[in-house]
Amino acid sequence: MILCGILLNECHQKPSATEQSGKYSLIAGAIVQGDTTKKTMAIVFTGGDFGEGGDTIRKTLKRHGIHASYFFTGDFYRNPAFQSLIQNLLVDGHYLGAHSDKHLLYCDWTNRDSLLVTKDEFLSDLHANYNEMEKFGILPENARYFMPPYEWYNDSISQWTKESGYQLFNFTHGTLSNADYTTPETPNYRTSNEIFDSITTYEKTSSCGLNGYILLIHIGTAPERTDKFYHRLDDLTLWLKQKNYSMVRIDELLR
């Protein structure tokens, strides 16, 4: 299961030092935030084992006329249960990208510089992910942005991604949106209300609000989590619109 081994880590990762490259913010070579001078942001969904929220999310975005970005593992693309959803997302005009074929853990949780994969293993897995995407007509040149599995990587992974012709990116730190997968029995469990409040609080207290923000939400979660954050997507979208944010695809945000 993809979530195994990260329940005590993902929500409490301390980001490394942020660097600036033009109008973008980077951590270890991956873009983590777009232009903070514009009220534009991207909502990004990832999927591996679970995708039960797909139809709910799709209908909500369609109702609001919003294009989002989806990053799926090769296993997700291969799963017959998700094939019609993937096709519908493409028809709706959303961005679909790669999230690794087998959702590999690239580097040690406590020592980020310690790689757990070789370059050949990384490239083989990455290419397998893109091969599955091509079966849906998603060509590599139209899906250059790559979101690392577990949202965990180091500068070697960033460099290998760049050498392959792709751009590594990650979610923007500051809110608890990436904790929407947690389940009640885990120490880092966060309710949907807590997650929602963390977003509104960050927007209020951050010097640039949610400008250029990359907000991560999971397209599905384990059945043990019954409090699904994607059911708050409608409320979140209405609130963001009231705050005059434009929600765009990742390739538009980082154009």
Q: How far apart are the first and last CA of the chain?
A: 34
Handedness of CA 53, 58, 63, 65 (dihedral sign): positive
Q: Which pLDDT score, from 0 to 100, does residue 15 have?
A: 55
Ranges in the chain, pLDDT < 50: 1-12, 14
- Are 173 and 199 in contact, with CB atoms under 8 Å apart? no
How does pLDDT run across 30-52, given as a tens digit for each residue?
999 999 999 999 999 999 999 99
Structure tokens at 68: 């989002």
User: Cβ neighbours of residue 147 under 8 Å, at least 6 residues apart?
Assistant: 44, 46, 71, 97, 98, 99, 168, 169, 170
List the one residue out of 86, 94, 99, 93 whose CA is nearest residue 136. Answer: 86
The gap from C-alpha 22 to its chain's centroid, in whole angstroms, comes to 22
List the one residue out of 140, 78, 85 whose CA is nearest residue 103. Answer: 78
Q: Which pLDDT score, from 0 to 100, does residue 6 have?
A: 43
How far is it, in rounded angstroms, from Cα 146 to Cα 166?
Answer: 7
CB-count burial class (<10 Å; 0-12, 13-18, 19+) for 223: exposed
Identity of the amino acid at 81: A
Question: Residue 32: enclosing H or E segment and its boundaries?
Answer: strand 30-33
Residues in the chain: 255
Q: Which pLDDT score, from 0 to 100, does residue 16 have?
A: 66
Identity of the amino acid at 112: R
What values do phi and psi take at 42, rounded to 5? -125, 135
List the one residue out of 249, 250, 244, 251 whose CA is nearest residue 38. Answer: 244
